[in-house]
């Protein structure tokens, strides 16, 4: 018999939008042979007769990431050797690594019909207005969400969009998602400009057991003299969360990030704080 412990989040990707290796790069991380997918999280509920799978973001690596979920996605009713798409997708924002996989659901690829895709009202409108993507969008069920309003995914399982500050060239907003399960609450926040620019941070974190957050860069050395990018440095994140009693998990690593090297000084410094690093397949009970 299934129990509430049969609800969990699973990491499907841990990298910045372009993944690993980064296109056109031969840095040590990109030359290592390691493959990393763009940051993505799935929510899996196995309690019912049919497992329910919800994705947060549709990345350029989505066809590989859905393969990681093959045991949970239902077999296709009409096409042998295929499985169904996820039950729903929630989008954090409009940058490449978070919406770039949507065309894979279009008529040239998975050819879905009526797949619910939740986004801010502004991003929903932008998707529907983009002519290039119109054949794909026509077969999606685009559903605008309301900030701070919880959406039920299943009994005792909700998802709540929370606005966060992040560069917003298209003015469609950026959102974290709070997942409230029967056992614990998880905050998924792959992109933010700066912790100090988010006044609600402490109050949101007060109601969260696990936080999976932006860890794009370890230090400014990775930028080779370029202007700072709108992401907090890992050591600043560790300082911000130092007194927080929950479990911190880092994700959305840039391909230059030294924490990707097992046993490196950077990786050791992070692990000594009790902070975890996201990786594909990592399970977090809800």
| 77 pLDDT above the threshold of 80 | no
Decide which of 169 and 80 is more confident: 169
Q: Name the β-bridge partners of 118.
A: 90, 143
| 70 pLDDT above the threshold of 80 | yes
Q: What is the mean pLDDT of residues 170-192?
A: 97
Q: Are strands 185-189 and 175-180 parallel, antiparallel or unpaired?
A: antiparallel
pLDDT at 250: 98
Q: What percent of the chain has pLDDT over 70?
A: 98
Contacts of 200 (CB under 8 A, 6+ apart): 162
What is the tens place of the pLDDT at every residue in 195-220? 999 999 999 999 999 999 999 999 88
| 225 pLDDT above the threshold of 50 | yes
- Report if pTM > 0.85: yes
| 83 pLDDT above the threshold of 70 | yes
What is the tens place of the pLDDT at every residue in 22-47? 999 999 999 999 999 999 999 999 99
Q: In which band, very low, low, confident or very high, does the pLDDT at 143 lie, cut at 50, 70 and 90?
A: very high
* CATH class for the region spanning 4-285: alpha beta
| 4 pLDDT above the threshold of 50 | no
pLDDT at 5: 66
Q: What is the mean pLDDT of residues 168-191?
A: 96
Secondary structure in 3-state letters for the chain:
CCCHHHEEEEEEECECCCCECCCCCCCCCCCCCCCECECEEEEEECCCCCCEEEEECCCCCHHHHHHCCCCCCCECCCCCCCECCCCEEECCCCCHHHHCCHHHHCCCCCCCCCEEEEEEHHHHHHHHHCHHHHHHHCCEEEEEECCCCCEEEECCEEEEEEECCCCCCCCCCCEEEEEECCCCEEEEECCCCCHHHCCCHHHHHCCCCEEEEECCECCHHHHCCCCCCCCCEHHHHHHHCCCCCCEEEEECECCCCHHHCCCCHHHHHHHCCCCEECCCCCEEEC
CA distance 110 to 112: 6
What is the tens place of the pLDDT at every residue in 92-138? 999 999 999 999 999 999 999 999 999 999 999 999 999 999 999 99
Residue 73 CB: number of other CB atoms within 10 A? 19
The chain-wide mean pLDDT, for the chain, equals 94
| 252 pLDDT above the threshold of 80 | yes
Q: What is the mean pLDDT of residues 133-158?
A: 96
């Amino acid at each position: 018999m299934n129990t509430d412990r049969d609800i969990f989040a699973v990491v499907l990707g841990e990298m910045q939008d372009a993944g690993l290796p980064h296109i056109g790069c031969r840095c040590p991380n990109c030359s290592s042979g390691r493959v990393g997918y763009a940051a993505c999280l799935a929510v899996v509920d196995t309690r019912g007769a049919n497992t329910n799978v919800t994705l947060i973001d549709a990345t350029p690596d989505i066809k590989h990431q859905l393969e990681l979920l093959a045991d949970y996605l239902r077999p296709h009713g009409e096409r042998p050797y295929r499985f169904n798409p996820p039950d729903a997708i929630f989008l954090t924002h409009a940058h490449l690594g978070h919406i770039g996989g949507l065309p894979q659901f279009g008529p040239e690829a998975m050819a879905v019909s009526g797949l619910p895709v939740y986004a801010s009202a502004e991003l929903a409108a932008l998707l529907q207005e983009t002519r290039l993507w119109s054949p794909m969008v026509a077969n999606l069920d685009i559903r605008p969400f309301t900030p701070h309003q919880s959406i039920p995914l299943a009994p005792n399982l909700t998802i709540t969009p929370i606005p966060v500050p992040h560069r917003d060239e298209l003015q469609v907003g950026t959102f974290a998602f709070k997942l409230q399960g029967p056992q614990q609450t998880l905050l998924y926040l792959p992109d933010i400009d700066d912790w100090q620019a988010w006044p609600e941070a402490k109050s949101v974190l007060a109601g969260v057991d696990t936080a999976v957050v932006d860890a794009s860069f370890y230090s400014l050395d990775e930028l080779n003299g370029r202007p700072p990018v709108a992401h907090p440095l890992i050591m600043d994140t560790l300082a911000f969360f130092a007194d927080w009693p929950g479990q911190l998990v880092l994700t959305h690593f840039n391909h230059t990030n030294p924490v990707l090297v097992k046993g490196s000084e950077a990786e050791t410094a992070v692990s000594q704080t009790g902070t975890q690093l996201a990786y594909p397949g990592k399970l977090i009970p809800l």
